C-alpha cells in the first residue's frame, strides 16, 4: 500500500494562554512540532484563554467543517464600565457606580437566549473593503458594522461581586462574547464589558483534553480516524469508494439509502472503503438533491491501492 495521503495530518487541541494572539500560538506549535502547515478553526483574542482547535498538515482543508461547531465559553463581565474594545483592555468610554440588582441581571439575560441580531465589536477581524475592522478603528477611522444573526443556546450567570458577573455561554459560530457583555451593560443602563474569557468547548472537543504550549509534542496530534469518531461514517464498497476518490459523483445514488440511514440528520458524513475501514477518505455533504463530495483525501490513497 502506498504511503497515506493523510499521514501526519490530524487535529491538535491547544490551551492558549493569555497575552498572545492565536496566530502567535500557531507559530510556536509549528516550530516545536516542525510542521509545514497548521491552521485553527476560530480565533481567540489575546486576553482570552482556552481551547484553540488546530488542523495540521492536509487536515487544514477541514477547517470549515469544524468552524461551525457549537462553542462554549466561561468568564466574567464587568458592569459599570464601557470601553472602545468592549473588554477591560480598551480605552474607557464611560463608567457608572449604579449597578442593578442581581434579579434584574437575571431578567436581562433572557433577551440574549435564542437567535438574535448582534453588532460585532469594532475592534474585530471582520474585513471592510479589504481591511480589518480593528486596524481601521485603531487608525481613528469611523467603523460601522452590520448586525449579524447569532444563536445563544445557554446563558448562565452567577454574581461574584457587586459589579462582576461570572457566566457560562454556549453559542453558535460568529458570536462575539465581548458584544454580549457590551449589550448586557447597555440593556441594564450601567454599561458593561468583558473582564475575562475562556473557551471550554468546540463541538465534541474540550479544553480539558488540550495541551499547553510548553509541553507540546508530536504525540499530541490526534489522527483523523480518532478525531472524528463522533461523526457518522459510511463504510462503502471498495469500488464505490474508489469512484468517489476519483471524483466520480454519479455513483452516490447507489449508496444514498445507506448514507441517509447513518447520517442522523448531520450535514456531513465521513466515508471510507470496506478494505480501509479505519482510514478517512473524504467527506460527503448534504446537497439539494442528495449528497455530494465535499472533500476528497483518497486520490493518492485508495485509487492507487
Burial (CB count <10 Å: 0-12, 13-18, 19+), residue 33: middle
Could you confirm whether 258 is annotated as catalytic? Answer: no
**DSSP string covering 148-202:** EEEEEEEEEEEE-SSSEEEEEEEE-TT--HHHHHHHHHHHHTS-EEEEEEEEEEE
Cell triple for 253: 445514488
CA distance 264 to 244: 22
Q: How many CB atoms lie within 10 A of CB 103?
A: 8
Cell triple for 282: 473524504
Burial (CB count <10 Å: 0-12, 13-18, 19+), residue 19: exposed
Q: Containing H/E element for 25?
A: helix 22-33
**DSSP string covering 170-184:** EE-TT--HHHHHHHH
CA distance 14 to 56: 12
Check the CA dihedral 69-72-78-79 and report its sign: positive
Q: How many residues does the chain have?
A: 305
CA distance 33 to 217: 6
Catalytic, out of 15, 24, 45, 220 = 45
Residues forming the active site? 45
Amino acid at each position: 500500500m502506498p504511503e497515506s495521503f493523510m499521514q501526519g495530518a490530524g487535529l491538535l487541541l491547544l490551551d492558549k494562554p493569555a497575552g498572545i494572539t492565536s496566530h502567535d500560538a500557531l507559530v510556536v506549535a509549528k516550530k516545536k512540532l516542525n510542521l509545514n502547515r497548521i491552521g485553527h478553526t476560530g480565533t481567540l483574542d489575546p486576553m482570552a484563554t482556552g481551547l484553540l482547535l488546530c488542523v495540521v498538515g492536509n487536515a487544514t482543508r477541514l477547517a470549515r467543517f469544524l468552524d461551525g461547531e457549537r462553542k462554549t465559553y466561561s468568564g466574567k463581565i464587568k458592569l459599570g464600565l464601557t470601553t472602545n474594545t468592549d473588554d477591560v483592555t480598551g480605552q474607557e468610554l464611560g463608567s457608572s457606580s449604579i449597578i442593578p440588582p442581581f434579579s434584574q441581571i437575571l431578567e436581562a439575560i433572557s433577551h440574549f437566549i435564542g437567535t438574535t441580531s448582534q453588532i460585532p465589536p469594532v475592534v474585530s477581524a471582520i474585513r471592510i473593503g479589504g481591511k480589518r475592522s480593528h486596524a481601521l478603528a485603531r487608525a481613528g477611522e469611523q467603523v460601522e458594522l452590520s448586525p449579524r444573526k447569532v444563536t445563544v443556546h445557554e446563558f448562565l450567570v452567577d454574581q461574584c461581586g457587586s459589579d462582576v458577573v461570572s457566566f457560562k455561554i454556549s453559542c453558535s459560530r460568529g458570536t462575539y462574547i465581548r458584544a454580549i457583555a457590551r449589550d448586557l451593560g447597555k440593556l441594564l443602563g450601567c454599561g458593561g464589558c468583558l473582564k475575562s474569557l475562556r473557551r471550554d468547548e468546540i463541538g465534541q472537543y474540550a479544553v480539558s483534553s488540550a495541551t499547553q504550549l510548553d509541553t507540546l509534542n508530536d504525540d499530541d496530534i490526534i489522527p483523523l480516524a480518532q478525531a472524528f469518531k463522533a461523526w457518522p461514517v459510511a463504510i462503502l464498497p471498495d469500488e464505490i469508494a474508489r469512484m468517489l476518490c476519483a471524483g466520480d459523483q454519479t455513483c452516490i445514488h447507489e449508496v444514498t439509502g445507506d448514507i441517509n440511514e447513518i447520517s442522523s440528520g448531520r450535514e456531513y458524513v465521513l466515508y471510507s472503503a470496506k478494505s480501509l475501514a479505519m482510514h478517512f477518505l473524504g467527506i460527503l455533504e448534504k446537497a439539494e438533491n442528495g449528497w455530494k463530495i465535499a472533500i476528497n483525501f483518497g486520490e493518492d490513497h485508495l485509487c492507487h491501492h
